[in-house]
Amino acid sequence: MTTSECPMCRGAAADEELERIEVWQDAHWRLTVSVSSEVAGFAYLEPKRHIRTITELDGPEAATFGPALARSTAALKDATGAVVVYVYIFGDGVPHLHLHLAPHRPGDALSDQMIRGELVEEKLPNGMTRFSSSTFPPLPREQLTQIADQVRHKMSASAE
C-alpha cells in the first residue's frame, strides 16, 4: 500500500469513512475516537508519518511516543470512567502503525479475547474489515461523539 492509498495517511479526510473523530494531534501523532463501537471511547493513536511497525519509529516520533500514549490513555480513562485502558497493536488490516486504545469498565464488551460475544466480521466498502460482537451492539453515535468531545477537552487541558 502506498501512502496515497493509505487511509491513515489521509488523516482527517478519511475520518468519516473510518467512522472516527479527530480529538488531538501534534507534529507527529494523531488521536481519533471511534463513533461506531461497542466500547465507549475506543480510540486510535497513530503517527502522521507512514510507517508499518513500532520498530520504525525514530527521532522525534520515538521521543514523543511515550508522552503521547500516556496523555491519550489518561484522557480516555478520565472521559469514560474506565478502570484501565488496554492498548493493542495490530497491523495486518491497515499497514500503517496505529494503536488501538480500549477503555475498559467491568461488564463492558471487552474481554481477554478483545471483545466478548460471537465475533462478527464485516467487510467495509473501502476494503477494510470491522470486527464487532453479536452480544454487544455498537453504542449510540451521540454517546460516542460526546465522549470524543470530552477526550478532546482533556487533551487540550493537559497540554497547558
User: Per residue in 44-70, pLDDT tens?
Assistant: 999 999 999 999 999 999 999 999 999
**So what's the pLDDT on residue 112?**
64
Q: How far is CA 135 from CA 93, 113, 124, 146, 149, in A?
A: 23, 14, 20, 23, 27
- Over residues 71-94, the pLDDT tens digits come to 999 999 999 999 999 999 987 778
How many domains is the chain partitioned into structurally?
1
Compute the distance between CA of residue 95 and CA of residue 143 in angstroms, rounded to an integer.
Answer: 29
Q: Is residue 157 part of a domain?
A: no
Regarding pTM above 0.85, the answer is: no
Mean pLDDT for the stretch of residues 88-115: 85
Q: Is residue 145 part of a domain?
A: yes
Q: Is residue 2 part of a domain?
A: no
- Record the cell numbers describing residue 143, joined without a space: 454517546
Q: Look up the domain containing 78 and give its range.
A: 11-150
Cβ neighbours for 125, distance < 8 A, ≥ 6 positions apart:
none
Q: Is residue 120 part of a domain?
A: yes
Is the Cβ–Cβ distance between 129 and 123 less than 8 Å? yes
Q: Is residue 3 part of a domain?
A: no
Residue 127 or residue 105, greater confidence:
105
Q: Is residue 56 part of a domain?
A: yes
Q: What is the CATH number of the domain that holds 45?
A: 3.30.428.10
Q: Is residue 125 part of a domain?
A: yes
Q: Is residue 37 part of a domain?
A: yes
